[in-house]
Amino acid sequence: MKMYIIRHGQTPWNAHKCLQGRSDVDLNENGIYLAELTGKALRDVTFDMAFTSPLIRAKHTCILAGREVPIIEDERLIEISFGIYEGCCYAEENRQVPQQWIENFFHAPQDYVAAPGGESLDDVEKRTRDFMEDICSRKELQDKTILVSTHGCALRGLLNSIRESNREDYWHGGVSKNCAVSIVTCNRGEKPVLVEENHIYY
């Protein structure tokens, strides 16, 4: 199996540094453009099917970057929930969340504590690992090429599930850019292999 994992295109909340989490925010014009460019760059890839987060920004990225193939929504690919801080700005000039809390999320994830009503990184890693192990074990998918459309934090959970990493290195160099693509290969009964990470096609 060959798996192309893409982070969704840019949204208005991305542009203004607002925490989206489970909020269902659609792509902006630039996000649509980036997804279309990525889709054109992958035009020679024949996708057999796609899995996507149920959130609209991931679904629309999947459609634009993929083909007319079966698309399956999977809750395990949804973004981390930020609880009471969803929709809040974290930009320095207009910060609406505690500074240390957001600093921990991006720069000291080992110290990150979920906001009230939010989801922990442990929970994200558990469900994304379950997705990866499930998909890679399916006999009917072993000779398929699939597209997976997800989010920044969930994408990191997926990739971290197949490599040796500790919580301090959760982001592995930073949040993936919008429409960045990572490629994973896996054969049933074998450990998945990360072939390429965060490739930008624009």
Active site members: 8, 79
Rounded Cα distance between 36 and 66, Å, is 9
- Own/partner contacts of 84-89, CB < 8 Å, gap of 24 or more, are 84/115, 84/116, 84/117, 84/118, 85/19, 85/21, 85/115, 85/118, 86/19, 86/20, 86/21, 86/22, 86/23, 87/13, 87/18, 87/19, 87/20, 87/23, 88/18, 88/19, 89/16, 89/17, 89/18, 89/19
**What is the C-alpha separation between 86 and 147, in angstroms, rounded?**
27
**CB neighbours of residue 200 within 10 Å:** 14
Helix ranges (DSSP H) in the chain: 12-15, 29-41, 56-65, 99-107, 121-137, 152-160
